[in-house]
Amino acid sequence: MNASEIRTVGTQAELREIVKEPPQPIWDKDIARIDEHARTIIAHSPFVLLATSNSDGTCDVSPRGDPAGSVLVLDDHRLALADRPGNHRLDSLRNVLDNPHVGLLFIVPGMNETLRVNGRATLVSDAPFFDDLVVQGKRPRLAVLVEVEELYMHCAKAFLRSSLWKPETWPDRKSLPTLGRIAKDQLGLKGVSAKELDAGLDLDAETNRY
């Protein structure tokens, strides 16, 4: 395939020639506040995706996982999530300092619908609510405070198409490379085996979660 065979879309008008405008209720579903239903979903979500971008528009999406209920709803327009130990790259947090606009996707296991939240983020190094972010006795060093500007539900189609919650569709984990294997090959690591890398990564994941 060469570039001449790829037909691109370059304007909003061209896009709407292909996909027509949705009915007005689809636009109106954004409530821009954390209502009782959003609170319930956030309280039951152990996994959220955090989307950020830097000042030049370079994007990043980071998975965030904690026991369900760990994302705090402070009021109808603010929520907070802890930053847990990671690889110290701080991609998301550096992006927030450059560009406060963030997107969140809350996922609840077994639920096909997701909750989408967009807003403006601030990095916080301490606040009274940090006491409520403690997990396994560990208090986070940083948290992301999000002022909600958009909030709405996303339909089930993506999860239904992917059969994400059906274990019978999942691949055999042994058919996929381990993280140690991937790291060794992608980084060209010498003098260490994939098995040794996996052992170290497994130990870190087990002992350095919080």
Which token pair is 111?
């639920």
- The helix, strand and coil proportions of the chain, stated in percent and rounded to the nearest 5, come to 35, 25, 40
Confidence of residue 41 (pLDDT cuts 50, 70, 90): very high
Segment 17-44 shows an average pLDDT of 96
Task: Report all structural domains of the chain as residue ranges with CATH numbers, in order of start.
Answer: 18-162 (2.30.110.10), 171-207 (no CATH)
Rounded Cα distance, 147 and 167, in Å? 36
Confidence of residue 50 (pLDDT cuts 50, 70, 90): very high
Q: What is the pLDDT of residues 100-148, one digit of tens each?
A: 999 999 999 999 999 999 999 999 999 999 999 999 999 999 999 999 9
Residues pairing with 74 in the sheet = none
Q: What is the pLDDT of residues 52-90, one digit of tens each?
A: 999 999 999 999 999 999 999 999 999 999 999 999 999
Q: Which residue has the tokens 């055999």?
A: 172
Confidence of residue 7 (pLDDT cuts 50, 70, 90): very high
Confidence of residue 38 (pLDDT cuts 50, 70, 90): very high
Rounded Cα distance, 126 and 141, in Å? 7
Considering the chain, what percentage of its residues have pLDDT values greater than 70? Answer: 100
Strand 142-154 to strand 78-83: parallel, antiparallel, or no bridges (unpaired)? antiparallel
* pLDDT at residue 1, rounded to an integer: 87
Which token pair is 193?
């085996």
Segment 1-24 shows an average pLDDT of 95
C-alpha radius of gyration, the chain, whole number: 20
Rounded Cα distance, 21 and 149, in Å? 22
* pLDDT at residue 3, rounded to an integer: 86
- How many C-beta atoms lie closer than 10 Å to residue 104's C-beta? 25
Whole-structure pTM value: 0.95
Considering the chain, what percentage of its residues have pLDDT values greater than 90? Answer: 98
Edge-to-edge strands, sheet with 72-75? 59-65, 47-53, 101-107, 114-124, 142-154, 78-83, 72-75
Rounded Cα distance, 147 and 76, in Å? 9
Nearest to 101 by CA among 142, 50, 64, 141: 50
What interhelical angle do 194-207 and 179-187 show, nearest 10?
120
